[in-house]
């Protein structure tokens, strides 16, 4: 992963003349940065976070589909005489 630059510095050099990057924190999912030049706070997600989220979402969808099938299988079937 490359070291990021201040988004304001990348957009316009007049807003942020020099990207004075400071790492102010880190979580399981992202790095939190501060630019001492323009006072901007922003976060950059860690590379594996997106892959992990995709995997967890696909597993959750499979679990939901399985639960729906189980619920349908548990339903009672009714038949009424004379009904078409």
φ, ψ of residue 13 to 5 degrees: the values are -70, -20
pLDDT of residue 33: 92
pLDDT of residue 84: 61
pLDDT tens digits, 31-83: 899 988 899 998 888 878 778 888 888 889 988 999 998 898 888 877 778 76
Domain ranges, ordered by start, for the chain: 7-74
1 or 53, which is more confident? 53
21 or 77, which is more confident? 21
- 40 burial via Cβ count (<10 Å: 0-12, 13-18, 19+): middle
């Amino acid at each position: 992963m490359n070291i990021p630059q201040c988004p304001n510095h990348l957009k316009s050099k007049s807003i942020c003349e020099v990207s004075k990057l400071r790492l102010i924190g880190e979580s399981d999912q992202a790095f939190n940065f501060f630019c001492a030049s323009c006072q901007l706070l922003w976060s950059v997600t860690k590379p594996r976070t997106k892959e992990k989220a995709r995997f967890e979402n696909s597993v959750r969808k499979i679990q939901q589909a399985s639960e729906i099938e189980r619920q349908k299988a548990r339903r009672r079937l009714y038949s009424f005489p004379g009904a078409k």
